[in-house]
Amino acid sequence: MSDLPLIQADRAVPPPAATTTTSGRRRRLRLLSRTDRVVITLMVLVPMLLVVGLVWLPALATVLLSGTNWDGIGPFSEIDWVGLKNYDDVVNIYPPFVPAIQNNLLWLAALFVVATPFGMFLAVLLDKELRGSRFYQTALYLPVVLSLALIGFVWQLIYSRDQGLLNALLGTQTDWYGDPHVNIWAVLVAAGWRHVGYIMLLYLAGLKGVDPSLREAAAVDGSSEASTFFRVVFPVMRPINIIVLVVTVIESLRAFDLVWVINKGRNGLELISALVTANVVGEASRIGFGSALATIMLVVSLVFITLYLATVMREGRR
Amino acid sequence: MSRPRSQADYLARLVPPSVAGLNRRSLLAGAAGAGALLGTGLLAGCGSDSDSGGGSKTVSVGSNASDPTPKDVLAKLAAGFQSSSGVQVNINTVDHNTFQENINNYLQGKPDDVFTWFAGYRMRFFAAKGLTGDVSDVWGKLTGFSDAFKKASTGDDGKQYFVPASYYPWAVFYRKSVWQQHGYQVPTTLDDLTTLAGQMKKDGLIPIAFADKDGWPAMGTFDILNLRINGYQFHVDLMAGKEAWTSDKVKKVFDTWAGLLPLHQPDALGRTWQEAAQSLQQKKSGMYLLGLFVAQQFNDNEQDDIDFFTFPEIDSTIGAKALDAPIDGYMMARKPKSEANAKKLLDYIGGVDAANIMVKGDPGTLVANSGGDTSGYTALKKKAAELVGSATEIAQFLDRDTRPDFASTVIIPAFQQFIKNPKDISGLLTSIENQKKSIFTS
């Protein structure tokens, strides 16, 4: 608290002579003018209200609604409480649920094991200032600029069974989007294509910030390129690595647009987010059931958020 | 550049000249002005609502006719109504899919006096919930509608809640030139159809074009098989959740379908209906079960080459007279601002003058009122109108005949599962039945 007076100290109202006898705590408060106090209160209150109103209340409402069978019609007083029935239904009689969980995990694994390392690899290559590196950089980053919905459309032109580019080039008749054993991989290629560019740019920015003298020192000590990267550069980039990790997890949890554009998340492309949308949004209005799915998604996200926060806080304490 | 004398001076210099002229007060005034502009804009958007409240000389229509042709037709209908009755029509057009997806909120809020909708379960559901108005007295004045149309406009309580405007039938489409070339005959029984399809296979054609990437086209196949095997009443009861999906009757539908699947275009789940229709247009497929809108995928000079037959008979005691022919039309809000005007408008829409406007304005639909002058119809449309006119019962298509949550979250994945793996029918039907019980009891 001792640094509080530093805030616009020059404009603070000087304490009137009469109050000099009051306690020190009061005096310190008085150092902030009334306007300052109003401003600070507003700056705390407004964002708090926004966060509570737009994040916490809807989240809480989702959890509450997941215990009902509301169909979106009629007043709240007519909502029937059905307890855990929706969860029971989700797990036991809703066939798309298990594939959705599997696909979300597969998505995470594919981005984590393939796309992210590949993006980092490209960043390292581009950091070498190859000829035309600007061009490669732009080309690789381009997919990130396009919306996932547009990407879905672009790949549809490539993957279409009867009229697509891929089958025309290969002379095959593979049903890239329709065959449930194939389509998730086809979509992962499309999603990865975009993810690689994103990670590449993030990582490249980090690499540019690494002190060149570290590399020089490593080179003088006779370290090879690879061991310089893994033993010197990679550990120095720890903050960026964490960001990349978090971005990868977020991207795989919120994966939605691509599968929705392709076939509304059905037939092999089930994802939790798509199931939530299919049930809640639109004419279907299975609000209670969809909320149960959304709550499950919230719990899954919380696991990752907790892990992340725990790591970051441990960092901060160190 | 002189040195800034104080911090405030220094900060003031950072502001680019283009903005420097504005002080905080004028900015606020500008924001308020912009706000006022936006506000009036929004108010103007809602104007039709607030204006029409006072006088009895206006009526508002909520329209999902967002495509140019239907939008134009509705505008002409409104003009026609205005000149005949003197009541002004305000049309609020919303994107077709958005309108459909927001219908729950729309009807519970302040809906327009009259709005576009479809016949079927959903129509009856809204009527039963009291979200739409009874228009039985309008029906008392309407002429030119067959009993099938009246049945499709009637709610669960026996009153009418809907005025039909246009419709299109589902049938098996083919190209005349292809059939002439190979000497194919229209099949009248399922066995004929199977034999014909087998012949097509030998002739190097895909017998039945098929696509189900979007999930709904397969409903057409299920519907027609169910109508032929179990009849219209069973279809209605099954859709209403009264019959069990695990019953032998449903099983028979799927068994028949499984028998026909090898004659369908393979890998349907990755294909859109447009692509399947193009395979028919390119003479790669022999026939295609779809709605009349399949004609959109044909060139203008090929329109005369399109022909169709209704799906052949499977059970002679049931016959082949029922079919899917979704009907589009209009409903009235539960509390219209001017009920008299709303009913007058519905009366006009159901009348012969309106039917004539629709025939002229939109070549893509069939008019529900048989009194309309249909001399402008193409041969294809004439035949389609005859087909529906001779139908004993008209079903509305699976997703219009049942709860939308059941159709979209249960039936679509289940049918796609069946197309993937037609062998495990009883497991699939048990899964559908379990979900149906959960949804329909809630």
What SS3 class is residue B115? Answer: strand
Among B129, B269, B288, the strongest candidate for a mutation testing the A interface, having the largest count of A CBs within 10 A, is B269
Domain at A176, CATH number? 1.10.3720.10
Q: CA-to-CA distance for A280 and A288, rounded, in angstroms?
A: 8
The yes-or-no verdict on residue B309 having pLDDT over 90 is: yes
CA distance B135 to chain A (A): 22
CB–CB of B351/B372 below 8 Å?
no
Q: To which residue do tokens 């007083």 refer?
A: A77
Residue A281 backbone phi and psi in degrees, to 5: -80, 155
Identity of the amino acid at A114: V
What is the CB neighbour count within 10 angstroms for residue B145? 18
Residue ranges of chain B assigned to CATH 3.40.190.10: 56-167+327-385, 170-324+403-441
Which chain B residues are closer than 8 Å to A175 by Cβ?
266-267, 269-271
What SS3 class is residue B91? Answer: strand
Contact B442 A71 (CB under 8 A): yes
Among B97, B264, B267, B272, the strongest candidate for a mutation testing the A interface, having the largest count of A CBs within 10 A, is B267
What is the CB neighbour count within 10 angstroms for residue A261? 19
Residue B166 backbone phi and psi in degrees, to 5: -145, 170
CA distance A90 to chain B (A): 10
For B414, which residue in chain A has the nearest alpha carbon? A95
Do the domain assignments include residue A246?
yes
A227, burial (CB in 10 Å: exposed 0-12, middle 13-18, buried 19+): exposed
CB–CB of B400/B119 below 8 Å?
yes
CA distance B55 to chain A (A): 30
Instruction: Tokens for A214, please give them.
Output: 């570290």
According to the model, what pLDDT value does residue B368 have? 86
What SS3 class is residue B378? Answer: coil
Compute the average pLDDT of residues B55-80.
Answer: 86
Per-residue burial over B391-416, b if 16 or more Cβ lie within 10 Å, else e, is bebbbbbbbbbbbbbbbbbbbbbbbb
Asked if A156 is an interface residue toward chain B (Cβ–Cβ < 8 A), one would say no
For A277, which residue in chain B has the nearest alpha carbon? B409
Q: CA-to-CA distance for A310 and A122, rounded, in angstroms?
A: 30
**Which among B209, B200, B162, B207 has a CA at the least distance from the CA of B181?**
B200
CB–CB of B361/B73 below 8 Å?
yes
Contact B404 A288 (CB under 8 A): no
Contact A266 B413 (CB under 8 A): yes
Residue B133's pLDDT band, with cuts at 50, 70 and 90, is: very high
Q: CA-to-CA distance for B10 and B3, rounded, in angstroms?
A: 8
DSSP string, B141-185: H--S--HHHHHHTB-TTS-B--EEEEE--EEEEEEHHHHHHHT--
Which chain A residues are closer than 8 Å to B100 by Cβ?
282-283
Residue B87 backbone phi and psi in degrees, to 5: -95, 130
Note the Cα B386 to chain centre separation in Å.
Answer: 21
CB–CB of A252/A297 below 8 Å?
no
CB–CB of B213/B269 below 8 Å?
yes
CA distance B351 to chain A (A): 31
Question: Angle at the Cα of B356 (from B355 to B357), degrees rounded to 5?
Answer: 90
Q: CA-to-CA distance for B172 and B366, rounded, in angstroms?
A: 17
Q: What is the mean pLDDT of chain B?
A: 84
What is the CB neighbour count within 10 angstroms for residue A136? 15
For A91, which residue in chain B has the nearest alpha carbon? B435
Contact B404 A283 (CB under 8 A): yes
Contact A278 B103 (CB under 8 A): no
Which chain A residues are closer than 8 Å to B111 by Cβ?
none
Tell me the pLDDT tens digit for each residue of B323-343: 999 999 999 998 898 889 999
Tell me the pLDDT tens digit for each residue of A120-152: 999 998 888 788 888 888 888 888 888 777 887
Compute the average pLDDT of residues B170-188.
Answer: 95
Q: CA-to-CA distance for A193 and A190, rounded, in angstroms?
A: 5
**Which among A263, A266, A252 has a CA at the least distance from the CA of A96?**
A266
CB–CB of B431/B414 below 8 Å?
yes
**Which among A308, A108, A127 has a CA at the least distance from the CA of A192?**
A108
Contact B268 A179 (CB under 8 A): no
Residues of chain B in Cβ contact (below 8 Å) with chain A:
100-101, 103-105, 108, 122, 129, 131, 213-215, 266-271, 275, 278-279, 404-405, 408-409, 412-414, 416-417, 420, 431, 434-435, 438-439, 442
For chains A and B, what is the number of CB pairs under 8 angstroms?
A: 105
Instruction: Tokens for A48, please give them.
Output: 């708090």
Contact A286 B439 (CB under 8 A): yes
Per CATH, the number for B56-167+327-385 is 3.40.190.10
What is the CB neighbour count within 10 angstroms for residue B42? 10
Do the domain assignments include residue A109?
yes
Contact A183 B270 (CB under 8 A): yes
Instruction: Tokens for A44, please give them.
Output: 């705390």
The yes-or-no verdict on residue B159 having pLDDT over 60 is: yes
Instruction: Tokens for B404, please give them.
Output: 């939308």
Compute the average pLDDT of residues B177-186.
Answer: 94
- Top-confidence range, B40-44, B172-176, B353-357: B172-176
Weakest-pLDDT range from A304-318, B88-102, B201-215, B413-427: A304-318
Among A8, A79, A167, A263, the strongest candidate for a mutation testing the B interface, having the largest count of B CBs within 10 A, is A263
Compute the average pLDDT of residues B118-135.
Answer: 89
Q: To which residue do tokens 């550990």 refer?
A: A235
Per the structure, the complete domain to which residue A127 belongs is given by: 96-285
Q: CA-to-CA distance for A162 and A76, rounded, in angstroms?
A: 49
**Which among A116, A298, A80 has a CA at the least distance from the CA of A200?**
A116
Residue B3: partners with Cβ closer than 8 Å, 6 or more residues away = none
Residue A293 backbone phi and psi in degrees, to 5: -60, -40
Q: Helix B425-441 vs helix A85-93: angle between axes, to the nearest 10 degrees? A: 170
Which chain B residues are closer than 8 Å to A284 by Cβ?
404-405, 408-409
Low-confidence ranges of chain A (pLDDT < 70): 1-30, 318
According to the model, what pLDDT value does residue B44 have? 38
ipTM: 0.73
- Top-confidence range, A179-193, B163-177, B360-374: B163-177
B170-324+403-441 to CATH, choices 1.10.760.10, 3.30.70.20, 3.20.10.10, 3.40.190.10: 3.40.190.10
CB–CB of A141/A129 below 8 Å?
no
CB–CB of B190/B275 below 8 Å?
no
**Which among B327, B331, B326, B367 has a CA at the least distance from the CA of B162?**
B331
Question: Angle at the Cα of B43 (from B37 to B49), degrees rounded to 5?
Answer: 165
3-state helix, strand, coil in chain B (%, to 5): 55, 15, 30
Contact B435 A263 (CB under 8 A): no
Alpha-carbon Rg for chain B, nearest whole angstrom, is 27
Q: Parallel, antiparallel, or unpaired for β B285-291 and B306-309? A: unpaired
Q: Give, as one character, the DSSP assignment of residue B286.
A: E
Instruction: Tokens for A104, please give them.
Output: 């979300």
User: Total structural domains in chain A?
Assistant: 1
CA distance B114 to chain A (A): 20
Tell me the pLDDT tens digit for each residue of B275-300: 899 999 999 999 999 998 888 888 88
According to the model, what pLDDT value does residue B54 have? 44
Asked if A157 is an interface residue toward chain B (Cβ–Cβ < 8 A), one would say no
To the question of pTM greater than 0.95 for the whole model, the response is: no
Alpha-carbon distances, residue B5 vs A264, B9, B60 (angstroms): 63, 6, 65
What SS3 class is residue B338? Answer: coil
Among candidates B213, B279, B409 on the partner chain, residue whose Cβ is nearest the Cβ of A178:
B213
Residue A138: partners with Cβ closer than 8 Å, 6 or more residues away = none
Three state DSSP letters for A183-238: HHHHHHHHHHHHHHHHHHHHHHHHHHCCCHHHHHHHHHCCCCHHHHHHHHHHHHCH
CB–CB of B251/B429 below 8 Å?
yes
Give A 269-288 residues with CB within 8 A of chain B: 278-279, 281-286, 288
According to the model, what pLDDT value does residue B112 have? 92
Q: To which residue do tokens 């209670």 refer?
A: A288
Contact A89 B412 (CB under 8 A): no
Which chain A residues are closer than 8 Å to B421 by Cβ?
none
Among candidates B122, B131, B416 on the partner chain, residue whose Cβ is nearest the Cβ of A267:
B416
Percent of chain B with pLDDT over 90: 49
Contact A285 B404 (CB under 8 A): yes
According to the model, what pLDDT value does residue B436 have? 93
Alpha-carbon Rg for chain A, nearest whole angstrom, is 27
CA distance B387 to chain A (A): 31
Give A 88-117 residues with CB within 8 A of chain B: 89, 92-96
Note the Cα B39 to chain centre separation in Å.
Answer: 35
What SS3 class is residue B88? Answer: strand
Do the domain assignments include residue A52?
no
Among candidates A264, A279, A283 on the partner chain, residue whose Cβ is nearest the Cβ of B103:
A283
CB–CB of A253/A304 below 8 Å?
yes
For A182, which residue in chain B has the nearest alpha carbon? B270
Give A 13-42 residues with CB within 8 A of chain B: none
Instruction: Tokens for A135, please give them.
Output: 């061009």
Asked if A79 is an interface residue toward chain B (Cβ–Cβ < 8 A), one would say no
The yes-or-no verdict on residue B198 having pLDDT over 90 is: yes
Q: CA-to-CA distance for B104 and A286, rounded, in angstroms?
A: 12
The yes-or-no verdict on residue B42 having pLDDT over 50 is: no
Residue A263 backbone phi and psi in degrees, to 5: -150, 35
Contact A285 B409 (CB under 8 A): no
Contact A95 B103 (CB under 8 A): no
Weakest-pLDDT range from A22-26, A302-306, B101-105, B131-135: A22-26
For A264, which residue in chain B has the nearest alpha carbon? B214
